């Protein structure tokens, strides 16, 4: 699968969350120049998890700190935070949100494209890291299953660990299945499955 380029922003969709009309106009104008479509919403409105956007441009100053919008925002898309007020409580809320990029207000003509590229790259890296972690966790689960099957054969047939694993590997090859699948069958059946014919 080809990794999407973070530099390609044309055709992407941005959700702008602010009530500051000047910032809305500035951000909308720049995003439109970059070929992006824009949806605008008020910070007081709940974030709809179903809305399909590629990036969220969030005015951190106008978001109510007390309302917990972080989970909904994290689930949607990378966040670019617009920051004007640098109070500890506001920055703490922002850190919990884990924005992918930020811009200092007022938003100017330079900087938004860079923030978008950084945000898209950050989002892609998070997706890849999550997939990598999932793959590692699956490997750990598979190893536990294989180890359980090895122990089962060692107990049932008085085999050494190496001999039990060799038996599983050879049987899996003979029946054209994976070691993990055969191991799961061994655990489920309490012993080596009786396969009279080869499986495709």
Reported as a single tens digit per residue, the pLDDT across 19-39 is 888 888 889 999 999 999 998
Q: Which residue has the tokens 């536990």?
A: 144
| pLDDT at residue 199 in the model | 39
Q: Are 78 and 55 in contact (CB under 8 A)?
A: yes
Indicate if 19 and 113 belong to the same structural domain. Answer: yes
Q: Is residue 5 part of a domain?
A: no
Which pair of structure tokens corresponds to residue 188?
Answer: 């489920």
Strand order in 79-83's β-sheet?
A: 37-41, 13-17, 55-59, 79-83, 101-104
Which pair of structure tokens corresponds to residue 127?
Answer: 């997706």
Write down which residue in 97, 128, 159 finishes a domain.
Answer: 128
Q: Are 142 and 168 in contact (CB under 8 A)?
A: no
Say which CATH number the domain at 142 has: 1.10.10.10
| pLDDT at residue 98 in the model | 85
| pLDDT at residue 74 in the model | 58
Mean pLDDT by 10 residues, the chain (200 residues): 74 88 87 90 69 86 67 71 86 85 85 91 87 88 91 91 92 90 90 60
Q: What percent of the chain has pLDDT over 90?
A: 26
Nearest to 40 by CA among 30, 25, 60: 25
Integer Cα distance of 52 and 140 in angstroms: 34
Half-sphere exposure of 5 (CA within 13 A, CB side): 5
Indicate if 113 and 144 belong to the same structural domain. Answer: no
Residues with Cβ within 8 Å of residue 117, at least 6 apart in sequence: 6, 7, 9
Domain housing 166: 132-189
Indicate if 30 and 105 belong to the same structural domain. Answer: yes
Integer Cα distance of 116 and 56 in angstroms: 10
Write phi, then psi, for 87 (nearest 5 degrees): -85, 150
Indicate if 32 and 103 belong to the same structural domain. Answer: yes
| pLDDT at residue 115 in the model | 92
What does DSSP assign to residue 34?
T
Say which CATH number the domain at 61 has: 3.40.50.2300
Integer Cα distance of 116 and 190 in angstroms: 55
Integer Cα distance of 193 and 182 in angstroms: 8
Residues with Cβ within 8 Å of residue 186, at least 6 apart in sequence: 149, 152, 153, 168, 192, 193
Task: Please name every residue paired with 82 in a beta bridge, in sequence order, or none if there are none.
Answer: 59, 103
| pLDDT at residue 2 in the model | 62
Q: Are 107 and 131 in contact (CB under 8 A)?
A: no
| pLDDT at residue 55 in the model | 92
| pLDDT at residue 165 in the model | 92
């Amino acid at each position: 699968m080809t990794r999407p380029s973070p530099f390609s922003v044309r055709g992407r969709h941005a959700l702008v969350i602010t009530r500051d009309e000047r910032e809305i106009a500035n951000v909308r104008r720049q995003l439109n120049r970059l070929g992006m479509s824009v949806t605008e919403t008020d910070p007081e409105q709940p974030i709809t998890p179903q809305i399909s956007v590629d990036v969220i441009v969030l005015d951190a100053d106008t978001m109510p700190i007390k309302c917990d919008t972080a989970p909904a925002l994290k689930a949607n898309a990378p966040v670019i935070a617009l920051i004007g007020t640098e109070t500890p409580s506001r920055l703490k809320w922002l850190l919990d949100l884990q924005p992918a990029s930020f811009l200092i207000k007022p938003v100017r003509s330079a900087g938004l494209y860079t923030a978008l590229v950084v945000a898209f790259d950050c989002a892609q890296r998070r997706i890849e890291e999550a997939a990598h972690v999932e793959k590692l966790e699956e490997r750990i689960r598979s190893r536990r299953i294989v180890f359980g099957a090895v122990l089962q054969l060692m107990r049932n047939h008085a085999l050494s660990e190496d001999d039990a694993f060799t038996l599983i590997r050879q049987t899996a090859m003979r029946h054209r299945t994976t070691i993990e699948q055969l191991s799961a069958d061994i655990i489920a059946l309490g012993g080596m499955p009786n396969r009279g014919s080869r499986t495709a």
